[in-house]
A = this chain, B = another copy of it.
Amino acid sequence: MTEPTAVIEPISPAAVAELRALLDGPHAEVRRYTREVLCGLDLPAADGLDRDAYRDQVLEWLKGVAKTGAGSRSFPSRYGGESDAGGSIAGFQTLGHGDLSLLVKVGVQFGLFGGAVHRLGTEKHHARYLADIASVELPGAFAMSESSHGSDVRSIRTIARYDAEDREFVIHTPAEENRKDWIGNAARHGKVAVVFAQLDVAGEARGVHAFVVPLRDDDGNLLDGVEIEDCGDKMGLQGVDNGRIRFSAVRIPRENLLDRYGTVDDDGSYRSSIDSPGARFFTMIGALVQGRISIAGAGIAVARNALTIAVRWGERRRQFGTGLDMDTPLMDYLTHQRRLLPAIAESFALQAAHDHLTAEYARVVGEEETGTEEQRAVESLAAGLKAVSTWHMLRAVQDARECCGGKGYLAENRFASLRNDSDVFVTFEGDNTVLLQLVAKTLLSEYASQFEDLDAVGMARTLSTRQISRWLSETGPLGRFTRDDVELRDGAWQAQTLRFREERLVDSLARRLRRLTSSEGMDPLRALSHCQDHALAAATAHIERIVHEQFAARVAEHEGEAREALDRLRDLYALSVVERGRAWWLEHGYLEPDAAKELQKEVNTLCRELRPSALGLVEAFGIPDALLRAPIGMTSPAAEQHSGAGTD
């Protein structure tokens, strides 16, 4: 057992600057500019406004953000944009350091509403709407979810019947349970909505399509046939005007169909470039994957806010009378380090994976061809990273709040709003559990196609990896991964360990499903539901493997003063992931008990090694005091006193 006694120096300012540049990544300029804009909004210290005033304030902020071009960044250049999906996602993430109602309002207006017009509409819609969307001249809603169908868009029942005579669509809510629910921008500010409905042309069902439907006139009065009610008080995000919408035979002109993937011709006939209604549906939904990528990024940002506050307070706050020095900062306690430092390492690692996902998304989103394997891979990673990042966020915020004790319970220190505003991230834009099942389904279909499509060589290669895995598990402990042999700080060992778990879990899930469906005659989806915990474990293992892979690659190519800290962060990420799931590796004969124990000690050792750099690591998150707004989390104690938080 190693008990480090050598003093480890804190990370240097130059290394902190390197880490910050690494985190800011390829869109550093967008991030810098977004921070500046946010600081200029003069966000209030705590939420004191009443609901309507807060919402109107958020609309004003939204217009301020729009003036900076943030709203049109991903739009084509002829509508003031830069066709820069990556920059748009990076800017959105940076908004996660500010007011989260503003973040969500930006997401609704530019991402969901604007994104739908952009991605699902055609030239005529772009010309008519995009500039006004980008300037917030036209505040709009994205009306997809229905009360009865949160996570299952294909089953929505709002109807869009084509009236060939008048060349109009008739939008109608057939039943109370099919009202559009949780629609941002609906309750107060939206003038129009993109409404998702089942298209009916001449009595034939054509599947889900999107339509631009006016909601309010210029004076803000609801139009005939449109009924909207407020969703009411929420846990957080009070600055977002979520509402419920009912349509009673609302008529809209034919050109209001967003018809990139399916259109109704002059002669009233339906035409689509995608033959299969299933493929068409997934193409339309797939085009909206940016929302999930954006929320994943925002989740990472929110975790950073909380960790920054907790580390600064843990460094400042002294615990007296414990028998140690009278002057021991909380951060010197092992439990404190264990709650905060692995979460910091995870925030770094997730950022690398998020940058990778963003780049991949930006690369494939503009492609004419749809439904490609690469696009599906991006969709699956977006779903999985959204789930993993937002659950990381919830854990980090809660641990950070507990680390701040009573101070963390005061509203002024912002944990209340950070947590309450972000809590919905784990269930909206796809419930995390449902998203991980989606990842599992993709893994299973990749698994199946691997064996169907591979040529002989590829097959052999794949099998040999799998055979090793199986051999390991069937022969029990090999003695290779005992205390003396594990290479805990070897990136290759870490990668192999995470990959072993992923492959074994997918493999055993596939075999189990095969048995249930063939031998026991179970319906495939019922079988998947029966193995739901197994599927979620496989999906999580897949995402954690990718996160490590991406972060390790980033670390490997880094040359500079920060390299030592980065190595430790990568090690701490990998080892804490393996530590929390170590039972699985023990059960599958991959780790021997003494290696598993060694691993836990190594996490402690890494925590102690990174502890002197804790302040530097959160400094690298780059969150200005004006955005953090927590008296206990300010850069200097002077700022804290100035803010009136007292001197304790």
Among B150, B319, B334, B531, the residue within 8 A (CB) of A406 is: B150
Q: Which residues of B contact A149 (CB under 8 A)?
A: 320-321
Q: Interface code A100-128, partner B: CB below 8 Å = 1, 0 otherwise? A: 00000000000000000000000000000
Chain B residues positioned under 8 Å from A319 (CB to CB): 151-152
Which of A154, A324, A409, A410 has the most CB atoms of chain B within a 10 A radius of its CB?
A: A409
Name the distance in Å between A375's Cβ and chain B's nearest Cβ: 23
Which B residues lie within 8 Å of A533 (CB)? 334-335, 338, 604
> Which of A155, A516, A587 is packed against the most chain B CB atoms within 10 Å?
A587
Tell whether, in the assembled complex, residue B324 and residue A526 are in contact, meaning their CB atoms are under 8 Å apart: yes
Cβ-neighbour of A154 out of B321, B524, B646 (below 8 A): B321
Contact indicator A177/B647 (Cβ below 8 Å): yes
Q: In the complex, which of the residues B176, B338, B420, B529 contacts A416, with contact meaning CB atoms closer than 8 Å?
A: B420
Q: Is A560 an interface residue (CB 8 A)?
A: no
Q: A256 to chain B: closest CB distance in Å?
A: 27
A181 interface residue, CB < 8 Å from B? Answer: yes
The answer to whether B324 and A529 touch across the interface, beta carbons within 8 angstroms, is yes
Q: Does A411 contact B (CB under 8 A)?
A: yes
Q: How many residues of A contact B (CB 8 A)?
A: 85
Q: Which residues of B contact A182 (CB under 8 A)?
A: 406
Q: Given A322-B529, A335-B433, A529-B324, check contact A596 B604 (CB 8 Å).
A: no
Closest to A150 in B: B405
Q: Given A320-B155, A416-B420, A596-B583 in contact, is the A406-B181 Cβ separation under 8 Å? A: yes
A427 at the interface (CB under 8 A from B): yes
Find the B residue at minimum CB distance from A431.
B405
Contacts of A151 in B (CB 8 A): 319, 405
Nearest residue (CB) in B for A531 is B334
Q: How far is the CB of A422 from the nearest CB of chain B, in Å?
A: 11
Q: State whether the Cβ of A3 lies closer than 8 Å to any Cβ in chain B.
A: yes
Question: In the complex the two chains form, what is the Cα distance from A322 to B335 in whole Å?
Answer: 43
Tell me which residues from 125 to 146 in chain A have a Cβ below 8 Å from any Cβ of chain B: 145
**Residues of chain A in range 322-366 having any CB-CB distance to chain B below 8 Å:** 322-324, 332-335, 338
- A332 neighbours in B (Cβ, 8 Å): 529
Closest to A522 in B: B3
Q: Are A321 and B176 touching (Cβ within 8 A)?
A: no
Could you write out 8 A-B pairs with CB less than 8 Å apart? Answer: A46-B233, A148-B318, A149-B320, A155-B321, A179-B648, A232-B411, A324-B526, A586-B596
Please list the 10 inter-chain residue pairs (A to B) with the smallest Cβ-Cβ separation, ordered nearest first.
A323-B525, A147-B648, A233-B411, A235-B416, A155-B321, A583-B583, A586-B586, A587-B593, A334-B532, A152-B321
